Structure 1
Amino acid sequence: MNQARRITFLSGFLSAIAVAIFAFYGGWQRKWMSDDGLIVLRTVRNLLAGNGPVFNAGERVEANTSMLWQYIIYLGARIDGHRLETIAMWAALIFTTLAVFIATIGTATLYRGRPLWLLPFGGIIYLALPPARDFATSGLEWGLSLLWIAVLWFLLATWSTLANKTQGIVPTVTLYTLAFWCGISWLVRPELALYGGLVGLMLLIMHRAKWWKILLVAIPAPLAYQIFRMGYYGLLVPHTAVAKSATGAQWASGWNYIRDFNDPYWLIVALLIAAFAGALMVALSKQTAGGVDKRTPLAIGVILACATLHTLYVVRVGGDFMHGRMLLLPLFTLLLPVSVIGIARNRSAALLGAGIFGAGLIWSATAIIGGHPYQLPEEGEELGIVDERTFWQLATYRDAPTYFAEDFHTARSLRDYPEQLAIAQQRNDAHLVSYLKNPDPIVLSWMPVPRTTQTTGPNADLAQMPLSLTMINLGMTSMNAPLDVRVLDNMGLANPIAARQPRMPDARVGHDKNLPLFWQMADSGVAIDDMPDWVNKKDAQAARKALYTDEFRVLFESYRSPMSWDRFMSNIKFSLTSGRTLQFHEDPEKYADAAVSVEKPQIYWPQEINTAGDRK
């Protein structure tokens, strides 16, 4: 290796180290746990206890978007005895750190053999954004998603620089590793299938003679899990996609989400600086010895196409209710080709490169110093898009961000929750209902509702249901409850009936479905006459009758009836037919004339719930 190449290699490696340190420090400084992150941990608790990959024992509902993330935390918990929140935090932070390191090395690979000083660039811009550092932890799969994208980029860059080496073990291993990595894309997050699909299609075109080998490597892992998902859960997609109607279009909300992310930081300025950095990269590649590898423009073009299409998808579905979250992955991807910037020996080129690098640092400093100030809206105002980390710190009246499940006890909606839950368990009640105890000032509380004594006749199966409760904030309620308590939400992440409600027009993105309380209590072990006064008993009676009709019963059988080979095969059929489009009416009277075709209709099957292995 000559002197020039050593400088390029060493400066690229040091750039990767520098940006990794920034990622680790920035993520550690802002470490926290979100309510949505706690949702993942509830499934992990059930896995550890032996109840399966479910949110509520006895109900096969896939409440997490990322299959791999929950199993990574599960494996970590099997190895390590720390709290699940701590395991999730460390896994996410380590993955984020590795992601920016690998991404930088991948881009530095494109400059291989060129006499340049390399400086960190794209990763610095990304990490300067407060939400990028927030979601370096949070309990969600963003660190894993970044790592998957970074490894994809590294493999793609390596593949492109081996353009003239069609034989040998390294090009062959790179090709098939890249094919496998494309295949597992949607096991990380469903929308990453866009990345895996586009890159995989490119490989099939570029290596037409090896198409069957590429497919043989890429398909088995995702196909195996897809068959499992269809047979076990009775769905083609994660249940979260059903709950959030991920195929719907809300362009206006999506544009508002873009503005919410851009405006506080003038992100468009950073993207323009990055565009100049990209133009400089192209110019340096043409001027330096060796030119540019013939596959490099294709690799860069494909990765930029992935970022662009991903952004359009986020805008189309209406964005998100968390500030910046859903745009972090496409932004990270967009910045990959400029993860480093080259400083040439030529004086004019060196000055230009230094100027672009300095502009990027100045913008990054303003984004870090300016931050993203956030205050809770006034009482009665729409929450809209929130800074989730600050929101939960304010909503729990804490001096520091939430980290453990019990940190959420001080939230207004969890007032009296631990005490009333303990009472309901001790009395073997059927339901724990949240209610407005005082309107001004607002005081929320919880009320146990007794279990029906009916053990024979219609609805007798519901008497065997576990203690149930419903709250919009599914994470903090579920992680502060034992596994033998059935925790649901009115939006549908863990409740298939709610997930198949029609969307409410103009509602908050991600919160645009709502299952009325009378439906929730009808699907529990509460006697109609014992329901609280504010529950419409006539509607509850009609809803309970509707639950036993064929349309509902087929759904209940898919995720509640005991698993067997016949049930597995029936679920596959259900997932390919009515399971794709099934939707319910909010008005139970719509089912007044619906048929109940079985002699002894059943919508709940009692199952043993293991709690001995719980890791709360």
Structure 2
Amino acid sequence: MTSTHSPARGRPPEAVVGLLSTARGGRWDRWRLPLALVPALVILVAGFQRRWMSDDGHIYVRTVRQILAGNGPVFNAGERAESSTGTLWQWLLVAAGATGADIATAAMYGGLLLTAAGFALAGLGALRLRDGDRQGGALLPCGALVLLALPPVWDFATSGLETGLATCWLAGAWLALVARPRAWTTCVVLGLGPLVRPDLALVSLVFLAAQWLVARPSWRRALAGAAAAGALPVAYEIFRMGYYGHLMPLPGITKEASRSLWTRGLGYLADFAGPYLLWVPLLFLAAVALPSGRVRHSVPLVPALAPVVAGLLCWVYVIKVGGDFMHARMFLPGLFLLLLPVFLVPLTRAWTIAALGVGIWALACASVLRIPYEGRIGPSGVADERGVYVQQNAAPHPLHHGFAGFPGNRAYARLVHDAAGGGAPVLLLGRTPAEAGAPGVTGVYNTLGFSGTVVPLTGAALDPIGLAYPLAAHSEGINGRVGHDKRLPDEWIVADRGSAGALPAGLDPARVEAARRALRCGPFAELRAATREPLTAARFWRNLTGAAQRTSFRFPDDPVRAERAACGGAS
């Protein structure tokens, strides 16, 4: 529609809004859907320009290779350890790898496509949320603009981690809640959170509660819906407990996912919000969106509030556990949730003013606002993860890490290659017998994804941090860098994997022997049996029934103290 009337100078913004917000079927209405998909196109381009593969992404790759090789969902053959935090992401990569595709490439580009799909679903959800306005007109990408301006969002659009899948599921679950709150399929989709990431169970619970408030089902339908939502997560949890012998993936144990480190977590929040002045756009949005603001277009209250409540809970949990070692990564799902209700907003006076403020901030954020430790690990231990791997690999888009810019990793790779070429089972701290399985290299290295890439599948890539090594995961922390605050002493690794009489220089034989004796006692012996014994029906049942006690087991790093505690005798 067109108009021959020209607005007079000084005419209030509402008049302009009235001209643009025509009745349904007007010229803006035809463009609402294409405009809603523009943020997905933008993040696709931005993510592609910053594409990369993280070391933690390569942890997934090794597990997928083990599955495709017939060794099961393990990191090292012969030891049942769940190193993949994102269950669904792992199995999606298995499906990609089964076609013959390169797994790392599939992880990088698959994450990008899922991120873009998540932005598209968020746009569709915003359109559906505002269907109740019964008014056409343009929409402004306020919340979308906040996300698109943040460099960490560009970085983690790829990375090989489950972040892209999380973005897609969060938006898809919200769209299902908004569009089809009474459908059985919505129950199933909302229940998938724990399989995307264990901490996203919080989102599942909030969204399922919101679905109940909207649908108000009978108690029979409510129970049936709960069963539909919980069927897959509960079935997998039973498998996890019986197969791995634990209640959660191993990274959750080694990172102590139930602890409270509020001060450190608040520091992680400041590390994210401070450099980008994130409070600026959030204040603009809150001023209009909150009930005290000037709201001119009503939306369904429960579907609009559900992602906000879920996002706040996600942020509180991240702060509680002390944050993460990757800059901004763990706050991105919560921020995405917080912005879903305002991902697209109507062209009103209040929202136009907010959009102008957000737009000015977005230009500054996308162009000049940066963290002060780009390409490095910051003073608090939080890393510009992508920047670090770009520098260490001397490549703008690292995929298969060669670490051309990091001599230490290249030296380790050569050592593993030489040991494997010798045909003898070698522990890089000494020598180890070929116990249950084919002989191979046993490498011990902190950079687990890289180590898992260079160590053959017939060998064992051990990390003293415990992301894929059960013994290390159950050790006590050393209060180090977030996500890396466990470091199993070498005496334990030699006692667990080495052979008698072959000690590396510098190790105390008495401490190694104390560790060997401890490993034969009580909870140590049960932990080794749960993860290394053949998986018979009896072993599965013992793993299942003992998973809670096994998950809570911790031991002192000092082998002498640990032996006394486990064996109940003198050292």
TM-score normalised to structure 1 length: 0.83
Preserved CA contact (<8 Å) 1:550 1:596: yes
**How much has 1:105 moved relative to structure 2?**
1.2
Correspondence 1:411 to 2:419: no
CA-to-aligned-CA distance 1:453-493 (integer Å, 9 cap, x gap): xxxxxxx9589864311111100111122101100111111
Q: Which residue in 1 is equivalent to 2:18?
A: none
Match of 2:10 in 1: none
Distance 1:592 1:269, change over 3 A: closer
Residue of structure 2 equivalent to 1:332 = 336
User: Secondary structure at the residue paired with 2:287?
Assistant: helix
Cα deviation for residue 3 of structure 1 reads 6.4
Once the two structures are TM-superposed, the CA of residue 590 in structure 1 deviates from its matched residue by 2.5
Between 481-490 and 197-206, the greater mean CA deviation after superposition? 197-206
Equivalent residue, structure 2, for 1:127 = 148
Over aligned residues, Cα RMSD in angstroms? 2.5
CA deviation after TM superposition for structure 1 residue 17, in Å: 2.0
Distance in 1 of aligned mates of 2:291 and 2:233: 39
2:21 pairs with 1:26: no
Select the residue among 107, 111, 116 that pairs with 2:137: 116
Equivalent in the alignment of 2:287: 276
SS in 1 for 2:37: helix
Confirm or deny: 8 A CA contact 1:393 1:400 kept in the other structure: yes
Q: Give 1:254's aligned amino acid.
A: G
**Equivalent residue, structure 2, for 1:542:** 514
Q: Identify the residue that residue 584 of structure 1 maps to in structure 2.
A: 555
Would you say 1:37 and 2:61 are equivalent positions? no
Equivalence for 1:140: 161
Moved more, 55-64 or 118-127: 118-127
Matches within 5 A, 1:329-368: 329-344=333-348, 349=349, 352-368=350-366
Offset of 1:119 from its aligned partner? 2.3
Pair 243,451 (structure 1): closer, same or farther in 2 beyond 3 Å? closer
Give structure 1 stretches of 5+ with no counterpart. 160-170, 287-291, 434-447, 453-459, 598-616
Distance 1:243 1:224 in 2: 24
- Cα deviation code 1:77-135 (max 9, x no counterpart): 222x3321111111100100010111011011122222331122212211211111100
1:402 maps to 398
How many angstroms does 1:216 deviate by?
2.8
Instruction: Give the aligned partner of residue 116 of structure 2.
Output: 97
Q: Which amino acid aligns with 1:87?
A: A
Instruction: Map 1:153-302 onto structure 2 (within 5 A).
Output: 153-159=174-180, 172=182, 175-205=183-213, 206-209=216-219, 210-279=221-290, 283=294, 285-286=296-297, 292=298, 296-302=300-306
2:492 corresponding residue in structure 1: 519
Tell me the distance in 2 between the aligned counterparts of 1:341 and 1:300: 12
1:430/1:449 contact within 8 Å kept:
no
Counterpart code for 2:367:
I
Distance, in Å, in 2 between the alignment partners of 1:244 and 1:568 is: 25
Of 460, 463, 473 in structure 2, the residue corresponding to residue 489 of structure 1 is 463
**Count of residue pairs the alignment pairs up:** 541
Pick from 310, 317, 323 the counterpart of residue 313 of structure 1. Answer: 317
**Partner amino acid for 1:550?**
G
Describe the superposition over 1:288-327 as per-residue Cα deviations: whole angstroms up to 9, x where unpaired: xxxx46xx11122222111111111111111111110000
Which residue type is aligned with residue 217 of structure 2? H
- Opposite residue 538 of structure 2, the aligned amino acid is D
- Give distance in 2, aligned partners of 1:535 and 1:124: 56
The alpha carbon displacement at 1:9 in A equals 4.5
1:59 aligned partner: 79
Q: 1:99 to 1:375 in 2, by over 3 A?
A: closer
Instruction: Check the 8 A contact 2:427/2:498 in 1, yes or no.
Output: no
Indicate which of 87, 90, 104 corresponds to 1:85: 104
Q: How far apart, in 2, do the equivalents of 1:463 and 1:230 lie? A: 24
- Once the two structures are TM-superposed, the CA of residue 222 in structure 1 deviates from its matched residue by 1.1
* Cα 1:208/1:546, change in 2 over 3 Å: same
- 1:553-608 Cα deviation digits (max 9, x unpaired): 100111110111111111101113x21311112121125457889xxxxxxxxxxx
Q: Report if the CA contact (8 A) 1:135-1:143 is conserved.
A: yes
Cα distance in 2 for partners of 1:409, 1:556 equals 37
How far did 1:408 drift?
2.7
Match of 1:566? 538
Residues 487, 102 of structure 1: alpha-carbon distance in 2 compared, 3 angstrom cutoff? same
Amino acid at match of 1:319: G
Q: Which residue of 2 aligns with 1:390?
A: 387
Q: Would the alpha carbon gap of residues 6 and 238 (structure 1) be closer, same or farther in structure 2, given more than 3 Å must change?
A: farther
CA contact (8 A) 1:465 1:525 kept: no
Q: CA deviation at 1:262?
A: 1.1
Q: 1: CA distance between counterparts of 2:413 and 2:58?
A: 17
1:498 and 2:466 are equivalent in the alignment: no
Cα drift, residue 208 of structure 1: 3.6
Q: Which deviations, in whole Å up to 9, do the C-alpha atoms of 1:139-158 show, x marking residues without a partner? A: 00000001110011111222
Aligned match of 1:479: 453
Do the aligned partners of residues 376 and 364 (structure 1) sit closer, same or farther apart at CA in structure 2, a change above 3 Å counting? closer
For 2:248 and 2:432, how far apart are their aligned partners in 1? 35
Contact 1:464 1:525 in 2 (8 A): no
In the TM superposition, what whole-angstrom CA distance separates every residue of 1:417-459 from its partner, at most 9, and x where no partner exists?
33321221233444343xxxxxxxxxxxxxx73446xxxxxxx
Give the distance between the partners of 1:268 and 1:593, measured in 2 at CA: 52
Gaps of 5+ in 2: 1-20
The 3 A distance-change label for structure 1 pair 117 and 595 is: closer
Residue type of the partner of 2:130? Y
Q: In structure 2, give the amino acid aligned to 1:146.
A: T
Structure 1 pair 130/281, CA: closer, same or farther in 2 (3 Å)? Answer: farther
Partner of 1:15: 35
Corresponding residue number in structure 1 for 2:96: 76
Matched, 1:449 2:449: no
Q: What is the TM-score of this pair, normalised by structure 2?
A: 0.89
SS at 2:139 equivalent: strand
Q: Is the 8 A contact 2:76 2:457 kept in 1?
A: yes
Asked whether the 8 Å contact 2:375–2:386 carries over to 1, the reply is no
CA distance in 2, matches of 1:342, 1:270: 17
Helix, strand or coil: the match of 1:248? coil
Q: How far off its partner does 1:57 sit?
A: 0.9
Alignment partner of 1:563: what SS? coil
1:277 is displaced (CA, Å) by 4.5
The 1:85–1:115 alpha-carbon spacing in structure 2 relative to 1, beyond 3 Å, is same
Query: For residue 441 of structure 1, what is the aligned residue in structure 2?
Result: none
- Assess if the C-alpha contact under 8 Å between 2:308 and 2:338 holds in 1: yes
Identify if the C-alpha distance between structure 1 residues 218 and 9 changes in structure 2 by more than 3 Å, giving closer, same or farther: farther
> Partners of 1:540 and 1:216 in 2: how far apart?
50
Shift of the 593–240 alpha-carbon distance from structure 1 to 2, 3 Å rule, reads: closer
Instruction: Return the alpha-carbon distance in structure 2 between the equivalents of residues 5 and 30 of structure 1.
Output: 40
CA contact under 8 A between 2:53 and 2:160: conserved in structure 1?
Answer: yes
Superposed CA deviations along residues 329-388 of structure 1, whole A, max 9, x for unmatched, are 1001100011112114xxxx3xx433322222221111110152535669xx95611110
Distance in 2 (CA, whole Å) between partners of 1:382 and 1:279 is 37
Higher mean C-alpha deviation, range 419-428 or range 329-338: 419-428
Counterpart contact for 1:12–1:105, Cα < 8 Å: no
Could you tell which deviates more after superposition, 267-276 or 95-104? 267-276
3-state SS of the aligned residue for 1:487?
A: strand
For 2:174 and 2:465, how far apart are their aligned partners in 1?
36
Q: Give SS of 1:111's match.
A: helix
Q: CA 1:509 to 1:502, structure 2 compared with 1: closer, same or farther past 3 Å?
A: same
Aligned residue for 1:572, secondary structure, equals: helix
Residue 591 to residue 140, structure 1, CA distance change in 2 (3 Å): closer
The AA in structure 2 aligned to 1:143 is: G
Distance 1:388 1:89, change over 3 A: same
